[in-house]
């Protein structure tokens, strides 16, 4: 079948299309229909079905004879360790952790925060929650205590699952002090914490609150899967919005299950049993969908890689993992390939590895620059496919669906909409634009199954953030155009979100932290172009009168502040003190112009600017920190 035929099958009869997907899922009770509109505009899918995600990801494969197949491959160059967990072993481990949670009083609908590094226990923890209907919320290990505290207060977890440490190439990251500080900072206190002690670092436990993972699981009674309504939230995943308050994206059980299963064969072109590797982190949406859930739901083997694309030990790390485990499909962020390309421009390290198993490379998370795409194509000699999606959607919006049909390659585009996504490019007044014209990328409602039906405890914010600007459409926050062939090109964000090494960051959130510095009167954070990470955050701060003497000290203090309050992964290392910020006459900071100055791009003087001389001052100040950069 052609892509067009599949897309039109959906468009002509969405109900039938989505109900058909349900055939691949084990239901306790099949849904009577696909779309539920009773809470419009909070659309939902398969609500009256009864189902369990963990059953579909683990138990049913054991029953179907896949018990001895590896489910998880753990490869950790940072600890020099490797292990394989079969589907049978996974079932046993998951049901015991589920039993631990039940013992600790966790029930269906209770939230559980998972703050763990890239170890099998992180995936086991996620599945254990879904087994008993607890709603997990995984917090990325690179976040600082304050960010964890914000998430604790919003999700109000009954229990937190954690580990003693994460391991970064430059050393151990002890989780326990961060966890203790976060709980101290949070207003809502979890009843219990279960900690997995890693041999690299032992954490002290607080009696009455903290429990040892191994002790608890060894004595636990395994817990079975519970039957859950189709719209039961499987997880909450926080993502950056325009303020420091993250948005809790809610993932519904049944739609997520059916649609992720569909993507494995139809989008990624993968057969059950193959080894699928998403080189991301369980703390991000890619990790949720394609390290944990989709490969397991589809009966694949998934790789949990605790390492980096470079430096652990070299730029051949990805090739080693692919050849060692016969990975057929790799999914990662373009920044990882930029890092590899920079250190090994001729891909000489590939020579030592047998890559015959490798079929396709998928890239997402940020714009894939044509140079990097072509480099990967040239050296890997497999299709390299850019695809576009968001935490909110949980699965691909546009891409090249090689499992259905491989469409002609077009570098710089993210290909075509998947079934369920009626993409419209709109102008500021909400009028549909012609092909080739740049505008806001929107999706006509309803969003397809698996997408977020709302934000956790924030229905109104869901409406104001995503639905209000273009009534009847979901505003993706991305700008771009659709070309004459129907291919979508993602060009930029329309809000204050920036993308640093595939990580989504709110400039507004960073500004809130900088503004808390006692010497800072006002500030702006912008995203400047970076060859490796795509974008880097840069802070421009104005000091309070009387603080002039502290100019030298403020910059390092601001850098330290972001590291402590947001986390090291924000890579905030660029800051400069300026006398004034450029503003419109109505007082709006002109961030866009500063981005252009920092990137060395030409700009038009905005008619509304308050005082054009400020731009000259900004240009001079940026030159003192080496911006714009001279690309050699
Ligand atoms: N826990 C604690 N700290 C973490 C962390 C984690 N899980 N992940 C990153 N950090 C820290 C790093 O140790 C580093 O700290 P440092 O400033 O003390 O050196 C900082 O955050 C930045 O790390 P990182 O983002 O890994 O950047 P890098 O410059 O060390 O490496 C890349 C560059 C391109 C190799 C790296 O960014 C990368 O692998 N990116 C892929 C991103 C990705 O998979 N995104 C998911 C979207 S699909
Ligand atoms: P996240 O929610 O962290 O996955 O980030 C989603 C955002 O990353 C999108 O809204 C885009 O801005 C950007 N993004 C993701 N995939 C792509 C892609 N293939 N091309 C361009 N931008 C992308």
- Per-residue pLDDT at 607: 82
Structure tokens at 349: 């390290």
For residue 280, pLDDT beyond 80 = yes
Cis omega (within 30 of 0) for bond into 559: no
For residue 266, pLDDT beyond 70 = yes
Mean pLDDT of 414-421: 98
pLDDT tier at 631, thresholds 50, 70, 90? low
Q: Is the CB of 170 under 6 A from ligand 1?
A: yes
Which 3 state secondary structure label does DSSP give 330?
Answer: strand
Question: pLDDT, tens digit, for every residue of 434-480?
Answer: 999 999 999 999 999 999 999 999 999 999 999 999 999 999 999 99
Tell the residue nearest (CA) to atom 4 of ligand 2.
390
Question: pLDDT, tens digit, for every residue of 198-218?
Answer: 999 999 999 999 999 999 999
Instruction: Please compute, for residue 365, the number of CA atoms within 13 A of its CA located in the half-sphere on the CB side.
Output: 27
Tell me the backbone φ, ψ of residue 42, rounded to 5 degrees: -90, 80
**CA-to-CA distance for 140 and 503, rounded, in angstroms?**
11
Question: pLDDT, tens digit, for every residue of 592-612?
Answer: 999 999 999 999 888 888 888
Distance 176 CA to ligand 1 centre (A): 20
Higher pLDDT, 495 or 195: 195
Distance 569 CA to ligand 1 centre (A): 5
Sign of the dihedral through C-alpha 316, 389, 42, 254: negative
Tell the residue nearest (CA) to atom 47 of ligand 1.
502
Question: pLDDT, tens digit, for every residue of 163-179?
Answer: 999 999 999 999 999 99
* Residue 414 alpha carbon, nearest atom of ligand 2: 19
Tell me the backbone φ, ψ of residue 611, rounded to 5 degrees: -145, 105
Give Cα 248 distance to the centre of its chain: 12
Q: Is the CB of 317 under 6 A from ligand 1?
A: no
For residue 243, pLDDT beyond 80 = no
Q: Which residues contact 412 (CB under 8 A, 6 or more apart)?
A: 370, 489
What does pLDDT average to over the chain?
96
pTM value? 0.95
Tell the residue nearest (CA) to atom 13 of ligand 2.
366
Mean pLDDT of 499-503: 94
Distance 524 CA to ligand 1 centre (A): 24
Tell the residue nearest (CA) to atom 43 of ligand 1.
280
**CA-to-CA distance for 17 and 541, rounded, in angstroms?**
53
Among 240-249, 463-472, 566-575, 577-586, the minimum mean pLDDT is found in 240-249
Mutate which of 168, 176, 317, 562 for ligand 1? The one with the most ligand atoms within 8 Å of its CB, which is 168
* Residue 283 alpha carbon, nearest atom of ligand 1: 7
């Amino acid at each position: 079948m052609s892509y067009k035929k599949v897309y039109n099958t959906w468009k002509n009869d969405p109900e039938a299309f989505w109900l058909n997907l349900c055939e691949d899922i084990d239901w306790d009770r099949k849904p009577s229909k696909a779309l539920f509109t009773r809470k419009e505009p909070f659309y939902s899918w398969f609500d009256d079905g009864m189902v369990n995600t963990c059953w579909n990801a683990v138990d049913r494969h054991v029953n179907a004879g896949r018990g001895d197949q590896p489910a998880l491959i753990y490869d950790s160059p940072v600890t020099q360790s490797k292990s394989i967990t079969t589907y049978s072993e996974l079932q046993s481990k998951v049901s015991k952790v589920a039993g631990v949670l039940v013992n600790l009083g966790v029930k269906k609908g209770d939230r559980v925060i998972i703050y763990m590094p890239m170890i099998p226990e992180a995936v086991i923890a996620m599945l254990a929650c879904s087994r008993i209907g607890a709603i997990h919320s995984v917090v990325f290990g690179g976040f600082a205590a304050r960010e964890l505290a914000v998430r604790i207060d919003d999700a109000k977890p009954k229990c937190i699952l954690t580990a003693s440490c994460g391991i970064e190439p430059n050393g151990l990251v002890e989780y326990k002090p961060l966890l203790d500080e976060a709980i101290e900072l949070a207003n809502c206190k979890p009843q219990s914490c279960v900690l997995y002690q890693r041999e690299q670092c032992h954490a002290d436990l607080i009696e009455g609150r903290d429990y040892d993972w191994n002790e608890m699981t060894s004595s636990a009674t395994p817990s079975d899967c519970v039957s859950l309504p189709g719209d039961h939230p499987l997880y909450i995943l926080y993502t950056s919005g325009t303020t420091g308050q993250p948005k809790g994206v809610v993932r519904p059980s049944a739609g997520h299950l059916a649609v992720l299963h569909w993507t494995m064969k139809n989008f990624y072109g993968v057969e059950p049993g193959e080894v699928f590797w998403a080189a991301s982190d369980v703390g991000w949406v890619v990790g949720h969908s394609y390290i944990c859930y989709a490969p397991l739901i589809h009966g694949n083997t998934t790789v949990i890689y605790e390492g980096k694309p470079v430096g652990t030990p070299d730029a051949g790390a990805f090739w080693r993992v692919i050849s060692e485990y016969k990975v057929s499909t790799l999914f990662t962020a373009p920044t990882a390939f930029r890092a590899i390309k920079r250190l090994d421009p001729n891909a000489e390290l590939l020579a030592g590895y047998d890559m015959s198993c490798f079929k396709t490379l998928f890239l997402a998370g940020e714009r894939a620059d044509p140079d990097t795409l072509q480099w990967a194509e040239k050296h890997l000699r497999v299709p390299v496919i850019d695809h576009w999606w968001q935490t909110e959607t949980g699965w691909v919006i546009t891409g090249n669906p090689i499992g259905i049909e491989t469409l002609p390659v077009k570098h710089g585009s993210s290909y075509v909409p998947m079934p369920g996504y009626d993409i419209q490019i709109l102008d500021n007044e909400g009028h549909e634009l012609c092909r080739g014209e740049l505008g806001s990328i929107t999706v006509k409602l309803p969003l397809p199954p698996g997408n977020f039906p709302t934000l956790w405890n924030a229905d109104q914010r869901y409406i104001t953030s995503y639905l209000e600007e273009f009534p009847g459409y979901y505003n993706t926050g991305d700008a771009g155009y659709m070309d004459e062939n129907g291919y979508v090109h993602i060009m930029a964000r329309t809000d204050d979100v920036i993308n640093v090494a595939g990580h989504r960051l709110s400039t507004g959130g960073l500004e809130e932290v900088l503004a808390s510095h006692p010497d800072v009167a006002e500030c702006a954070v912008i995203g400047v172009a970076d060859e490796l990470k795509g974008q880097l955050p840069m802070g421009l701060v104005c000091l309070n009168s009387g603080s002039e003497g502290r100019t030298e000290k403020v910059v390092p203090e601001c850098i330290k502040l972001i590291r402590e309050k947001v986390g090291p992964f924000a890579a905030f290392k660029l800051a400069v003190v300026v006398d004034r910020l450029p503003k419109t006459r109505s007082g709006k900071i002109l961030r866009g112009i500063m981005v252009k100055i920092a990137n060395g791009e030409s700009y038009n003087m905005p008619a509304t600017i308050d005082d054009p001389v400020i731009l000259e001052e900004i240009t001079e100040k940026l030159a003192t920190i080496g911006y714009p950069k001279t690309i050699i």
